[in-house]
Structure 1
């Protein structure tokens, strides 16, 4: 149901729901929709729509979000004190909701065409590391060119290179003391290779120490990469230490800058856009405003031939059956089910539970169980058919809605998406996020107006207009789609203006550290 059609302080999302959502903070004795509110209910939280007996399944979005821990009276606050997880059957009829492809549409953004046919939305030079031991050298090289106090001065190192967005060092905490045949090293190499191939990098320098498990030559060979003018490498030990390595790196980047600068933007089809979908600091409004509005933008993107990457497997847990119903084939549906089984086993092996989510901040914002959070999170994927399921940092091979298996932790998840080819990130938040993801620009969407007013310095678009009744989801989806095109064309996001993106590079640390 469109919230803009409900001027009352209570939102009903589906006629079958057992709860209303508080549009604003409610106080005991307040009446609305035939209910008398019992006690204080924060904005974004749930209110029982009817009397609910203990042990009963509770529905929001017409889907089960948990089970009552005790009797709940109509008008009561429904949250962690009286609602919990429980086992129930989720029927995944693979392909049941697959729809015919919509008539294709065409539009363009101003992109940068690479010689290999890829299209970039940004134009960086990247400094990658094979191991944590070379991180300080990589940072020193990038800082020589990109320190905010001198990089763009009239006499600064980038002053003559206006088409270069910057020199960024993407370092990590791994690369050694790991099984050279194990999953952890495979995933790290796949991630680094994805960044090395990313169209938003005009050139790459890889810096190693020299004695690490993740040897540069082995990394390149395993991932089919060839050193060359735009992919240069060296080891600190071979050059004689830190000072010599930093000097060599600065020399190499200086030689690459004129090459990287020799680009221009031109009209490129939106089919070249790959948008990673993220939600972080979610709240009770995420699944009502920003996430479904982003889903509308995703449907538009897919209709224009582009690709959206839905991820964060632990945060679609409990809603995976809805995605499976949109899988274009049994093979795609089974790949999704296999990843869910992997996560259940992975978490159990470490003595955890899939319901260790929502986070404390999510719960403060009104989300009670992982089921509830997941149902809101999958809304980011719109209604398009699910065309593929891929593992972490694997390259995207198909256009449309693709699911990438990642953790729910935003920096790790987005790192995998960018490694897979995402040249934009769209990030919804209800509690507030200050996040960026070089080399892909990150566009952040607020779920509520209070956040927008409080943290507009970090947010690009306010989807709280939906909650406030000033805009419907379809109109907001059109705004988001246009913002994607504008951002892809070079318009800087809030996180870019603040310099976010280097520290957020976080490959998934799988496997044993020896």
Structure 2
């Protein structure tokens, strides 16, 4: 049996004893369950320890009871209670969502705030990447023209014009990486003045400020929508079509209902003329050497499994700590996959105010779920359960390890921009696409995404490095996974080994020296706004 020498669900300090052959991994000395390592699982009768023999076949990643568990006994993984047994489970039995009951979530009114004194760490110096520096000091990892929409009505037009630009204009501007449409389902038929409407509106405004766009974002609107284009971007005159005295080469907003347009072709010509001027400016950008302190890395997990919290996520946490030591910025998110581990995070807040902000975001989301007549049991997904995760508590304990061990410097709400260097909790739903959209709005210029079940998820606005939690997936999806952290589980590599490997991969991808797998394949997901406000 592989067993951890030390373990910390709130950080990346899980370390496994390396053994030539192992059947299961036990994370913490106090755990009474372990997860099956071997591809294909283990058959009934397999001896995994001197006194533990499987009484049933157990799939890869699923939990085996290391002791007899009576009904009502606590089930412990990561040294934390992940639930109680709903019935007796024999030693060597299969522990899963059918026989484990959710425990009570941590309270939000009595947790320690900013009580953990951060251990001194040596600054990490001498590491750089090649990025696109912007006038405001931010740095892009890509050089992209963004075309945003103010309302879903114009999404088809934007898709049409993006293809035209790629065919007709982009080949003339070799220093521009891409042109992307920032389509979404917001903008009209919504309660635009409802308090919660600030979330989607500021998300769209802040996405336009993402450093990968180099301040060259266009907004295409219809004209009659509630969310007027001028509210999303600094507006200048929109008369950019030819033979018009009011033409302004700096215009960045265009409405299709403008009465000067005669037909669809005229609208497209206007957008193409606007795009050409933006492309000319973007084409003048060049990569330059930048310190790691200019990186803004988002971390996320999707299609997680029971290995995520012992391989991929701890390795991400280790790399995140390296970036923070170098002065850079890292975000972790996904409120529902943090809520049940919040007691491990509030002590790491740099101040009581930051700790309270963490609790405030948890409370806001608790209320949001309650209003929708849902609760945290809606997470995890069927795929997560098939990968061995019994409930959201187990999932959260493995998820928060992406935050490493660094002090938590700040907390931002959904759609807000990053304010401080270091480790930030950026509150988002757990949905992959919504989380990615909100991290883009926060200023992310690169994302690291861990997965155990697999997903082709990718963003066109920022590169997404995908890390597999198990080697079965890494080998099967060899052309979709960028880094296999499953080698940690098999003893071929340590968390530190994979963490450093990921750190160097981040620098290579940020510099444009390496292309992520999904980008090579041309796979990209749409943006999905988080809109907690009413739809009218």
Q: Bin the TM-score by the shorter chain.
A: over 0.9
- Alignment of 1:94 with 2:117, yes or no, is no
Q: Between 1-10 and 132-141, report the one with greater CA deviation.
A: 1-10
- Alignment of 1:61 with 2:44, yes or no, is no
- Alignment of 1:140 with 2:152, yes or no, is no
Determine the C-alpha separation between the residues in 1 that align with 2:264 and 2:401. 48
Determine the C-alpha separation between the residues in 1 that align with 2:516 and 2:250. 27
- Alignment of 1:177 with 2:196, yes or no, is no
Aligned counterpart in structure 1 of residue 430 of structure 2, from 408, 412, 417: 408
Partner in structure 2 of residue 28 of structure 1: 44
Determine the C-alpha separation between the residues in 1 that align with 2:232 and 2:170. 30
Partner in structure 2 of residue 206 of structure 1: 219
Q: Is the 8 A contact 1:445 1:462 kept in 2?
A: yes
Partner in structure 1 of residue 325 of structure 2: 303
Q: Is the 8 A contact 2:22 2:490 kept in 1?
A: no
Aligned counterpart in structure 2 of residue 339 of structure 1, from 346, 361, 375: 361
Partner in structure 1 of residue 510 of structure 2: 488
Determine the C-alpha separation between the residues in 2 that align with 1:247 and 1:122. 26
Determine the C-alpha separation between the residues in 2 that align with 1:17 and 1:481. 31
Aligned counterpart in structure 2 of residue 41 of structure 1, from 51, 58, 70: 58
Determine the C-alpha separation between the residues in 2 that align with 1:167 and 1:184. 31
Aligned counterpart in structure 1 of residue 520 of structure 2, from 494, 497, 504: 497
Partner in structure 2 of residue 316 of structure 1: 338
TM-superposed deviation, 1:9: 0.2
SS at match of 1:445: strand
Q: Is the 8 A contact 2:450 2:467 kept in 1?
A: yes
Determine the C-alpha separation between the residues in 2 that align with 1:389 and 1:291. 20
TM-superposed deviation, 1:123: 0.1
Determine the C-alpha separation between the residues in 2 that align with 1:248 and 1:337. 48
TM-superposed deviation, 1:376: 0.3
- Alignment of 1:79 with 2:99, yes or no, is no
TM-superposed deviation, 1:321: 1.0
Structure 2 unaligned blocks of 5 or more: 5-14, 238-248
Determine the C-alpha separation between the residues in 1 that align with 2:102 and 2:506. 37
Determine the C-alpha separation between the residues in 2 that align with 1:171 and 1:461. 30
Partner in structure 1 of residue 12 of structure 2: none
Determine the C-alpha separation between the residues in 1 that align with 2:122 and 2:530. 38
Instruction: Count the aligned residue pairs.
Output: 501
SS at match of 1:237: coil
- Alignment of 1:234 with 2:250, yes or no, is no
Aligned counterpart in structure 1 of residue 447 of structure 2, from 416, 425, 428: 425
- Alignment of 1:110 with 2:139, yes or no, is no
TM-score (norm. length: structure 1): 0.94
Partner in structure 2 of residue 15 of structure 1: 29
Determine the C-alpha separation between the residues in 2 that align with 1:54 and 1:94. 35
Aligned counterpart in structure 2 of residue 52 of structure 1, from 44, 69, 88: 69
TM-superposed deviation, 1:93: 1.7
Describe the shift of the 1:101–1:440 C-alpha distance in structure 2 as closer, same or farther (beyond 3 A): farther
Describe the shift of the 1:231–1:274 C-alpha distance in structure 2 as closer, same or farther (beyond 3 A): farther
Deviations 1:204-241 (A, max 9, x none): 11000000010122344xxxx34486660011111355
SS at match of 2:137: coil
Deviations 1:70-114 (A, max 9, x none): 111110010012112122656732223231442222221011111
Q: Is the 8 A contact 1:317 1:370 kept in 2?
A: no
Deviations 1:337-394 (A, max 9, x none): 1111111111111111111111000000000010000000001010110111110111
Partner in structure 1 of residue 456 of structure 2: 434
Aligned counterpart in structure 1 of residue 289 of structure 2, from 267, 274, 280: 267
- Alignment of 1:255 with 2:277, yes or no, is yes
TM-superposed deviation, 1:189: 1.9
Describe the shift of the 1:110–1:75 C-alpha distance in structure 2 as closer, same or farther (beyond 3 A): same
Partner in structure 2 of residue 377 of structure 1: 399
Structure 1 unaligned blocks of 5 or more: none
Determine the C-alpha separation between the residues in 1 that align with 2:317 and 2:137. 28
Determine the C-alpha separation between the residues in 1 that align with 2:141 and 2:103. 45
Determine the C-alpha separation between the residues in 2 that align with 1:270 and 1:137. 39
Structure 1 residues 149-188: aligned runs within 5 Å: 151=167, 157-188=169-200
Deviations 1:439-493 (A, max 9, x none): 1111100111110111122111111111111000011100011111111101211
Q: Is the 8 A contact 2:25 2:34 kept in 1?
A: yes
Describe the shift of the 1:230–1:124 C-alpha distance in structure 2 as closer, same or farther (beyond 3 A): farther
TM-superposed deviation, 1:510: 2.0
